[in-house]
Amino acid sequence: MEIWTALAIGFFGSFHCIGMCGPIALALPGGNGSRFSLIVGRVLYNLGRIVTYGFLGAVFGLIGHSIALAGFQRAVSVLLGLSIIAAVIVQSNYLAGIKRILKIEAFFNWIKNSISTQFRKRGMSTLFIIGMLNGVLPCGFVYVGLAGSLTTGSVFEGMLFMVLFGAGTFPAMLAMSLAPGLISLPMRQRINQAIPFLTITFGIYLVWRGMWLGLTGH
């Protein structure tokens, strides 16, 4: 269940993320101008994102493991699920709210400046680094994915959840960077209309999982 959940969140969420991360992907340096180097560069960029997602998933999986040892995994899963549902229903600007609460705006500005610095460089490694940095930028669906990795209660499973989340984003993000017109605006709009229902479904799953954990004692 969690494997397909991670892939689904990443895949459907990627059509929304195209609007946020698309400009960065389209502006990536093109290597030496050959089609092969262009494809390899875009693949490396997306792999960089997935590496960062995996690292973040491991960190949140570790946190989730500590929560599980403390006996609060059930409550945290239910709370996260309800928070996700509430955020979709009220459509609040929770990303900005999170940044204000944690006071991490300066960190995100540093990430953006670092990406700008990398754009002035050349080489395949630069594209990989840009992808890694881009994976840290605030994104609602990344936060949803991290909520899932947190509830796994395991470093490895948390990492795997986010790697699979990243793999789900891979097809649309790669296609968009190589052929911007391939994914039409009407298609993206139709998928975006379904995204809130997918997000709420995942929130319900987290609530159900928290209740199930309590009933089974695991």
Domain ranges of the chain: 2-73+103-184
Residue 181: pLDDT above 80? no
Element of type H or E holding 206: helix 185-216
Residues near 162 by beta carbon (within 8 Å), at least 6 away in sequence: 6, 53, 54, 56, 57, 58, 60, 145, 146, 149
**Confidence check: pLDDT of 1 > 70:** no
Residue 218 confidence (pLDDT): 43
Phi, psi at 153, each rounded to 5°: 70, 25
Percent of the chain at pLDDT above 70? 82
Distance CA 62, CA 154 (A): 6
Per-residue model confidence (pLDDT) at position 33: 66
Instruction: Quote the CA–CA distance of 183 and 201 in Å, as a whole number.
Output: 25
Does 146 score more than 50 pLDDT? Answer: yes
Indicate the SS3 state at residue 96.
Answer: helix
